A and B are shown apart, each in its own frame.
Chain A
C-alpha cells in the first residue's frame, strides 16, 4: 500500500507539472481580474503540497498495510474484461449495437467467467433486448447500427 500511495502522489505531481507547463502561455491575471491560468496554477500548487505531504507520510509510516491486489486468475479476469470493453468500442461502429453487445456479453460470460451456456444466452438476450427497448424504441436514441443496420 505504501508503494501505491507514493505512486499516486508521484502521478499527481506529474499532473501538476503538466498543468503548469500547459498553462504557461496563458495569463495568470488579466487587467483587474483573474486570467485563464489563475485557478490551474493554484490547483497545481495545492496538488504539489498534498502530494509531497503524502510522500512524506507514506515514507515515515512504520507499519504498512498490504495492498489488496487480486490473485492471478482474478487479475486475468480484470484484464480480459478491460480488453473486452475496448473491443466493444472498436466493434460498435462496424457491427452495430446489438451484435457488438451480444459478442461482448458472450465473450465475458463464456470465456472470461466460464459460465454455463444457457444462462449466458438468456442473460445476453435480456440485456440486449433491454437496450433495444429502452434506448432505441422508447428514447429514440440513434445508437450505432453498423453495416448490418441493427
Chain B
C-alpha cells in the first residue's frame, strides 16, 4: 500500500507541465538519436548533460533517462528501413526487420516492435518498483568492503561479460582506472599524475572523456564513409498487424521482457547482449525456427522487448547500490553526481521525489513513445533521408560547446578532442569503450571503499572474506574474471564431445 502511495506521488511529480515537457524532450531526442545510425544514446545523453545543469535534478534525470529508452524505440526504424542497426542493440532486429520490409511488411514490423517495447517498458517498470524497494532495504547492510567489491564487480563483469574480447576490455578498464587516478588523492590530498598541470589537479572529468570517446570518435569513424543511406518507403496504412501476428508475438514479448530485465540487472550485460540472448531463446522456443533469418515477427518482438526491459533492469543496481552496469547508466550516474545526488540504498529514503518521479516518468515516457511510433513512424522515417554529412558537423559543434560549458575551460575542449582521437583508434583497434567509462566512474568509489576497508581492518585483507556479503561478492568477482576461461573450456568440451560422437557414428 505504501508503495502505491509513493507511486501516485511519483505520478504527481512526473505529470507536472515542466517534467512532462522534459520527458517529451528526452524521449524525442532519444528516438531521433536511436534512429540515426552512427549516433548512440550515450552521445545524446552526454550532449544533453551540460544542458541539464540549468534544470532541477528530477527534471534533468527524467530527461536523460528518457533518451535511454527512447533510443531503443528509435533504433528500430533504421534497422527495419535501412538494414543498418541504429544502435548496437538493434542488430538482430536488423536481421529480421529488413527482410520483413522487403516483403512489404515494414509497418507491421515497426508496430510489433513499438507495442512490444511498450509492454516491456511498462512491465519492467512494475518489476523495478518492487525490486528496487527490496534491494534498497538489503543494501543498507552494505559497508566499505561490499562497495569496493561491488565496484570491482561492475568493472570486471562489464569487461568479461559484455561484448568485445575480455582481455581487450580489461586493458581498457585499466586505462580508465589510470585516468581516474589523475588529480588529487581523495584521502591524503596530495597531487597524483598531474605532471605539474594545474588544470589536472581536479582530475580528468567524466564529460570530456565521454563526449570524446562516444561523440567525437563516432563522428570521425562515420566520416570515413561517404555513401548515403536510402531507406525503404513505408505507408501508414501498412502499419497494422493481423490478429494472427499478435498471437504469434505475445509469448515472445513476455519472454523478451523477462530475459531483458534479468540480464539488465547484471553489470556488463546491457541491452545489446540481452537482445542476442532473447533472439537465441526465441529461436529455441519457436515451433518453426526455420523462419528465423527470413523475417520472423516474433524474433523482432522478443528482441525489442528485451532491449527495452534491459534498460529498465540496468537502473536497479544504479538506483539501489549506486553502481552502474553499462555505459548508459554510467552517464546517468555522472548526471546524478553532477547534480549533487549520490545514488545508493538511501536514495529512496532521502530523495523519494526523484526516485518515484523517475519511475512514474518512465511509464509516461513509454506511453509517449508508443503514440509517437505508431502514427508518426513515417515522419521519423523521413529523418533517415537527412545525409549524415550535415549532422556530423552539428554534432561536433554541440559536443565542443557542451564540453566548454561544463567548466568554462578551453582545456576541457582540448581534452575532448584528444579523447575523441583516442576513441577513434579504439574503434579501429576493436577496443570496447564502455569499460573505459565504467572504470572512470567507478574508480572513486572503488578507491575510497578499498582504503576505508583497509583502515577499518588495520591493513588486513580478511575483512573481504569475513563478512558474508563481501565473501559472496568476492566469489562473483573471481567468477567474472574466470568466466572467459570457463566458457572456453565448456566450448572445447562440447566440440570434443560432438567430434567423438561423429567418429562413433
| Chain A residues with a Cβ under 8 A of chain B | 1, 4-5, 7-9, 12, 15, 19, 22-23, 26, 29-30, 32-36, 38-40, 43-44, 46-47, 50-51, 53-54, 57, 67-71, 73-75, 77-78, 81-82, 85-86, 88-89, 92-93, 97, 101, 104-105, 108-109, 112-113, 115, 119-120, 123-124, 126-128, 130-131, 134-135, 138-144
Instruction: Among A57, A68, A97, point to the contact of B428 (Cβ < 8 A).
Output: A68
Contact check, A85 vs B400: say whether CB atoms are below 8 A apart: yes
Residues of B within 8 A of A82 (CB): 220, 417, 420-421
Contact check, A123 vs B431: say whether CB atoms are below 8 A apart: no
Contact check, B389 vs A89: say whether CB atoms are below 8 A apart: no
Classify the secondary structure of A's interface with B: helix
Stretch at the interface among B295-303, B331-339, B408-416, B464-472: B408-416
Known A78-B223, A105-B393; 18 more pairs at CB < 8 Å = A8-B168, A22-B195, A33-B451, A35-B188, A40-B178, A43-B181, A46-B170, A82-B421, A85-B396, A85-B420, A92-B410, A104-B397, A108-B393, A131-B397, A131-B398, A141-B50, A142-B408, A144-B410
Contact check, A130 vs B417: say whether CB atoms are below 8 A apart: no
A86: nearest chain-B partner, CB-CB: B417
When A and B form their complex, what is the total count of cross-chain residue pairs whose Cβ atoms lie within 8 Å? 183
Instruction: Among B181, B398, B410, B424, point to the contact of A78 (Cβ < 8 A).
Output: B424
Contact check, B54 vs A138: say whether CB atoms are below 8 A apart: yes
Residues of A within 8 A of B243 (CB): none
Most buried by A among B195, B387, B430: B430
Instruction: Among A74, A81, A108, A123, point to the contact of B226 (Cβ < 8 A).
Output: A74
* Given A113-B389, A143-B401; A23-B193 close (CB under 8 Å): yes
Which parts of B182-196 form the interface with A (CB within 8 Å)? 185, 187-188, 190, 192-193, 195
Contact check, B192 vs A23: say whether CB atoms are below 8 A apart: yes
Q: Is B281 an interface residue (CB 8 A)?
A: no
Residues of B within 8 A of A109 (CB): 389-390, 393
Stretch at the interface among B10-18, B34-42, B110-118, B454-462: B454-462
* Given A12-B171, A34-B454; A104-B428 close (CB under 8 Å): no
